[in-house]
Amino acid sequence: MFTGLIEEVGKIRDSRYSSKGCVLCVECGKILDGLKTGDSVAVNGACLTVTKISKDGFETEISNETLSKTNSNSIKIGAEVNLEPALQFNGRLDGHIVTGHIDCYARFKEMTEDGFSKKFTFEIEQGFQKYLAYKGSVAINGISLTVADKDDLEFSVVIIPSTIENTNIRNLKSGDVVNIETDILAKYVENFVNYTETKKEIDKNFLEENGFI
């Protein structure tokens, strides 16, 4: 479990791809304090398991399933990545609830000035726009953000200077692909509404008849 508050921007030291997946070597410093093998770290929002730790970084193994669903499949040596270690239950839950399970890609379109902040506009994969709500939460490359606008496949977020300076969002160029995790509540609501074990469609009328609303 994560919060979407990035603790460090690391750098890809090496990436070894094979038919079995990928071994990713990440150079970092700040998050190494207390980190141990077996721990979870969100790398650009994707929950990965630490398999090896060195004095200036860590390694993680990425499955083919994760490669197919995230931008890890095209990451380049030297690229900056957002890092967040797993949430500790004695800590403060800022940001929003982030699982580290990437839903889809989005493609960066443009950035425009918005006061002292900047508005970033993205185009999300077909079929996933329904999980985005105006003023709802979305994680982009693991960053906890708020949907400021949405229109069909496009949506925008407004990002303050501090977040831009301290995450790899600052490096985005038009056409770049980012990892998207939509709000977990939307997915569970959809799953409940579509559940048909009773062989009767669960719609608004069904919920009213059975006292749910």
How does pLDDT run across 160-177, given as a tens digit for each residue?
Answer: 999 999 999 999 999 999
Give a yes or no: residue 132 inside a domain: yes
Please indicate whether residue 125 or residue 186 has the higher confidence score (pLDDT).
125
21 and 74 within one domain: yes
127 and 66 within one domain: no
Give a yes or no: residue 150 inside a domain: yes
124 and 80 within one domain: no
Among candidate residues 25, 54, 85, the one where a domain is terminated: 85
121 and 160 within one domain: yes
What pLDDT score was predicted for residue 96?
Answer: 87
pLDDT tens for 58-105 read: 999 999 999 999 999 888 999 999 999 998 776 667 778 899 999 999
HSE of 83 in the Cβ direction (CA atoms, 13 Å)? 28
56 and 115 within one domain: no
Give a yes or no: residue 109 inside a domain: yes
| Mean pLDDT (whole number) for 25-43 | 97
120 and 73 within one domain: no
115 and 56 within one domain: no
Residue 133 CA: distances (Å) to CA of 12, 23, 74, 112, 186? 33, 35, 29, 21, 9
What pLDDT score was predicted for residue 191?
Answer: 80
| Three-state helix/strand/coil letters over 118-176 | EEEEEEECCCCHHHCCCCCEEEECCEEEEEEEEECCEEEEEECHHHHHCCHHHHCCCCC
| Mean pLDDT (whole number) for 137-149 | 97
Give a yes or no: residue 178 inside a domain: yes
Give a yes or no: residue 59 inside a domain: yes
134 and 170 within one domain: yes
- Which residue range is the domain that position 50 belongs to? 8-85
Among candidate residues 25, 53, 85, the one where a domain is terminated: 85
What pLDDT score was predicted for residue 126?
Answer: 94
CATH number of the CATH domain containing 75: 2.40.30.20
125 and 160 within one domain: yes
Question: How many independent structural domains does the chain possess?
Answer: 2
DSSP 3-state of 209: helix
Among candidate residues 85, 115, 133, the one where a domain is terminated: 85
Give a yes or no: residue 41 inside a domain: yes
- Reported as a pLDDT band with limits 50, 70 and 90, residue 43 is very high
Give a yes or no: residue 194 inside a domain: no
Give a yes or no: residue 97 inside a domain: no
